[in-house]
Structure 1
Amino acid sequence: MQVGVHLGFQNLHGLPDYEFFRKETQLAIEAEAMGFDFAAMVEHHFTDYAACPDPLQALSYVAAKTKTIKLMPAAVILPWNDPLRVVEKTAMLDALCEGRLHLGMGRGAARREFDKFGVTLHDSREMFDEAALIIMDGLESGYVEADTKWYKQPRAEIRPRPQGWSRDRCVMVSMSPSSCEVAADYGLKALRFSQGDWSKTLPEIDKYRNTFREKHGKQAPPFIISDFMVCFADRAKVTDYTDKYFAAQFRQVANHYEFMSPHFKDLPSYATYAYMGDMAAARGGPDKAYKDYVDGNLIGTPDELYEKHLMRKAMVGDYEIIANFSFGGMPYEDVYEQMKLFADKVMPRLKAEEPVPA
């Protein structure tokens, strides 16, 4: 199993932005020394919910400070980025990190971000589907050209020329039935965020795997789960930090994506977010709904985390993890404590496991 860290850049500490951004980015560098396989970073804009406007640029800094850890934007939001520039920046960083880059792609879900870029949630499905093909073809061929509904691009040669790229190095955020279908059709590894009861996602996961096999004649790769994680040796500290910091970050999630707003009901390609809104309403609002959210993520002592992982693996099959240890304004000394404990006590057990038979 591959295990990584996922940096969310959520600034609820009250720190100046420059200081906070340096501290958060340093986690990716320390992750290599702790034995993590991946360092992943989000793309988000404009608010304290998450403030990393260019993960490829931030990962360039990490590349210069590390030797072996794989680097992944998780994800570049395609409707907010020109495909030609994504290919150029991806090829440039891949050259600098000597082939350690994996490209994560997503389509975004927050109106407050789409509005600032002058595009709409309604168009995100088409924009993503077109841009992803343009980007993957560009990385594989070394040229970018397009004549689609959303993108008109004369043939352009990419320099530095991409090297060794295939779709095996591309990942797609897949949080809805339509996204799972596109990921399988395009032959991409899927990334899912923990957002509740995993049994409810099994139809989507199964369809992704079946469609992938039918389209490409081989088994789908293990999908990636992004977990918000609380890991301490003291059970009382786990409970305290979950209620304090996990609850704070979930309120940020609910507010940022407007889970309580009915607008997702008019967007079938955002069915998961509509479900989250219904769940929050049924439980009396985001402040209480976060407890269901906790159940989907890996929260507990090291032994509890591993047991919860085994239960999830028995349900969903093989998967990989990128874990977010820094959220809700948690002090960085505590972030490091739980990262190190997870790396020492849980990660070796995860990496020693045998794959689930197909």
Structure 2
Amino acid sequence: MHFGLFSLMAQRDKTTPARQIYAETVEHVKLAEQLGFEIAWFAEHHFSNYCLCPSPLTMATYLAPQTSRIKLGPAVIVAPLYEPVRMLEDIAVADVVSDGRLVLGFGSGYQEYEFQKFGVDLKNSRAIFLETLDLIEGYLAGEPLVFEGQHIRIPETYFRVRPLQKRPDIYVAGLMNDPVTQKRIAASGYVPFFTTGWNTLDMIKETRDKVTATYAESGGKADATPFAIQQYIFITDDKQEALQAADGARYIRRVAMSMRGKYGELEGSFLKEIAVPDEPPIEEIAKRMIIGSPTDCAEKLATEFAALKPTHVSCFMAIPGMTQKQTLRSMERFAGEVLPLVEKQLGPLANIGAPVPRRQAA
């Protein structure tokens, strides 16, 4: 098991300049590298303050010369919104300039508002997403590339710039309840990527068990099933600060669900915060998430890791509403105080979970 840093780059306060959010994100990534994080992930969303990163491959390319060890990747490339050839070329550039440190995350997307602006029908998102996975496999297999799908068609093409890696690690988010997609993920050796939100451990474990069963049905070994999770994490001894962090996480959940449920309200490009039906109280949200003192958070993580055995844990640590100083301090305490406590209970964390499949391109 290893850890990543997830950057949504949300703008809760409309007076916060985009330039400041970008600069703070760079500082987060540099610190994550110093603290030993494995991957820096960048989100992709468009046309609202929910996320100020419309191009995660550009962010990976931008951070490449400012880092040296940490891997860089999109979480995720919203495949249906891309011109396919341009996407492949951007992937190649990001891998070359990062000296082979690119990790790929793909998703089908869910915000209809975004799809409308790109002129793409959300109803076709799953089909385009699956074709994109086929396209990536064909691209990594070698040249020439010829692709003939229902939505993607590319004539015989040679690329002068290609990725340094034969096959970057590939993570796939979303469509957890789609058996066809999950079987494809398992058969191809991709890593399923699940956002825990404020779900209980039992709910997360249910998803984990489904992924494991699908992996076994596809010919894999159940105990070798990779599984990545994303967690909100904020370390503090101050109870009010913990509730403030939980409020920031709740805000993200609220605006995301409003867009998914198509009831979101925009003032220009700024989303209104709308409560999610039947959402738990703020104290319960804080309890379910990795928010609180080092001891409390270590106990939560030890319980989760023992139950889920994740391959990768993506840490959402730049929670809206928290200052840069609070965020950086939380990151330092997570690495310096929380993880050692977890290892005291479980042993070396690197030994937990199945490794990322190292399947080579065909």
Normalising by structure 2, what TM-score? 0.84
Match of 1:265 in 2: none
Using the TM superposition, give the Cα deviation of residue 114 of structure 1 relative to its aligned residue in structure 2, in angstroms. 1.2
Contact 2:33–2:69 (CA under 8 A) maintained in structure 1: yes
Pairs within 5 Å for 1:8-23: 8-13=8-13, 14-23=15-24
Identity %: 25
Match of 1:269 in 2: none
Match of 1:234 in 2: 238
Distance (whole Å) between structure 2 residues aligned to residue 258 and residue 347 of structure 1? 36
Aligned length: 336
Match of 1:332 in 2: 324
Matching residue's letter, 1:345: E
Contact 1:103–1:171 (CA under 8 A) maintained in structure 2: yes
Using the TM superposition, give the Cα deviation of residue 325 of structure 1 relative to its aligned residue in structure 2, in angstroms. 1.1
Structure 1 residues 356 and 322, CA, compared in 2 at 3 Å: closer, same or farther? closer
1:305 aligned onto 2:292: no
Match of 1:355 in 2: 352
Pairs within 5 Å for 1:76-225: 76-166=77-167, 169-178=169-178, 179-195=181-197, 196-218=199-221, 220-225=224-229
The secondary structure found in structure 1 opposite 2:242 is helix
Structure 1 residues 157 and 213, CA, compared in 2 at 3 Å: closer, same or farther? farther
Contact 1:235–1:300 (CA under 8 A) maintained in structure 2: yes
Could you tell me which of 308, 314, 317 is aligned with 1:316?
308
Contact 2:44–2:75 (CA under 8 A) maintained in structure 1: yes
Structure 1 residues 350 and 71, CA, compared in 2 at 3 Å: closer, same or farther? farther
Distance (whole Å) between structure 2 residues aligned to residue 130 and residue 95 of structure 1? 25
Deviation string 1:56-98 (CA, Å, 9 cap, x unpaired) is 1111111101110011111111001122222211122111111
The secondary structure found in structure 1 opposite 2:102 is coil
Contact 2:295–2:341 (CA under 8 A) maintained in structure 1: no
Match of 1:256 in 2: 259
Deviation string 1:231-283 (CA, Å, 9 cap, x unpaired) is 1133442134323x23333332233323768xxxxxxxxxxxxxxx9x943x2
Distance (whole Å) between structure 2 residues aligned to residue 254 and residue 148 of structure 1? 32
Distance (whole Å) between structure 2 residues aligned to residue 124 and residue 136 of structure 1? 19
Structure 1 residues 192 and 69, CA, compared in 2 at 3 Å: closer, same or farther? same
Deviation string 1:127-179 (CA, Å, 9 cap, x unpaired) is 1001111012202324432111111111211221233323x611111352114
Distance (whole Å) between structure 2 residues aligned to residue 125 and residue 62 of structure 1? 30
Distance (whole Å) between structure 2 residues aligned to residue 357 and residue 72 of structure 1? 20
Structure 1 residues 292 and 258, CA, compared in 2 at 3 Å: closer, same or farther? farther
Pairs within 5 Å for 1:39-58: 39-58=40-59
Contact 2:299–2:342 (CA under 8 A) maintained in structure 1: no
Alignment RMSD (CA, Å): 2.7
Distance (whole Å) between structure 2 residues aligned to residue 68 and residue 226 of structure 1? 21
Bigger mean CA deviation after superposition, 6-15 or 221-230:
221-230
The secondary structure found in structure 1 opposite 2:47 is strand
Normalising by structure 1, what TM-score? 0.85
Structure 1 residues 345 and 90, CA, compared in 2 at 3 Å: closer, same or farther? same
Structure 1 residues 112 and 295, CA, compared in 2 at 3 Å: closer, same or farther? farther
The secondary structure found in structure 2 opposite 1:24 is helix
Distance (whole Å) between structure 2 residues aligned to residue 250 and residue 315 of structure 1? 24
Could you tell me which of 322, 342, 349 is aligned with 2:334?
342
Q: Say which structure is richer in helix.
A: 1
Structure 1 residues 103 and 240, CA, compared in 2 at 3 Å: closer, same or farther? closer
